[in-house]
Amino acid sequence: MICLGPRVPGEIVGPRPLSGVVVRPLNFTVRRPEVPRIRFAITGVVSPDVGATLDAVANPFAEQLRSRLSRVDASCPLILLVYAPIILPATLGAVDSDSEASLRTRTARVSENIGYEAWMAAARSERLHLYAAGLKAGIMKLDDELLPPRFRTELLEAVDATILKLKISVATSDV
């Protein structure tokens, strides 16, 4: 049963509204599909005495790099980059650095050895450079199919910009 609303005298003839029915206007807004950007995550294989000093470098670095990666062109095949630095003393044995990448899942895990003695002897700003150098070395090892040269350049520039930004903040906090 259809209940039509009453007509008002002098109303233009046309279809009558249904009584008690709420009508929403049509929305023709076109939205761009959500396109993944490169995400950055950190992990690591480190000795316990390195953990706190690594966190002091890695966390601000990751935060800054994530904000810069949000500006990288979204058409990059790589969507997740995991960095796993290895910082172990010789007494704990050596772990080979490696890279694992998958075009199917569009992810890459890079790990690079950072010398334990160099890390422990380094000042905070030098640790930042050791950390970033390992990341950059890992990025250079990634296959061109997963990280084409144009995106590799953008990613390396983002790492360099992150180093510069953090170097300035480290210098001002040390004063």
Strands (E) in 25-143, as ranges, are: 39-42, 45-46, 80-83, 86-87, 99-102, 107-110
Residue 102: pLDDT above 80?
yes
- What 56-63 contacts at long range (C-beta under 8 Å, 24+ apart), as own/partner pairs, is 56/124, 56/127, 57/124, 57/127, 57/128, 57/131, 58/85, 58/131, 60/166, 60/169, 61/128, 61/131, 61/132, 61/162, 61/166
The CA distance from 151 to 171, in Å, is 30
pLDDT at 24: 67
The tens digit of pLDDT for each residue in 1-27 reads 555 556 565 555 666 656 666 666 666
Q: What is the pLDDT of residues 33-68, one digit of tens each?
A: 555 577 888 887 888 888 888 888 888 888 888 888
Tokens of 84: 């796993």
Asked if 97 and 86 count as a contact pair (C-beta separation under 8 A), the reply is yes
CA separation for the pair 50, 86 (Å, rounded): 10
Amino acid at 161: A
For residues 175 and 170, give the distance between their C-alpha atoms in angstroms, rounded to a whole number. Answer: 9
pLDDT band for 121, please (50, 70, 90 cuts).
very high
Where does the pLDDT of residue 175 fall: very low under 50, low under 70, confident under 90, or very high at 90 and above? Answer: very low
Q: Domains along the chain?
A: 39-174 (3.40.390)
84 with 98: CB under 8 angstroms? Answer: no
Predicted TM-score (pTM) of the model is 0.71
Q: Please answer whether residues 118 and 78 qualify as being in contact, where contact means their C-beta atoms are separated by less than 8 angstroms.
A: no
What is the per-residue pLDDT for 52? 82
Tokens of 175: 């004063």
* For residue 157, pLDDT beyond 70: yes
Signed CA dihedral, 92, 96, 102, 103: sign only: positive
Lowest mean pLDDT among 69-73, 135-139, 171-175: 171-175
Upper half-sphere CA count for residue 125 (Cβ side, 13 Å): 12
C-alpha dihedral over 162, 168, 172, 173, to 10 degrees?
A: 20
Q: Which residue has the tokens 């003695």?
A: 117
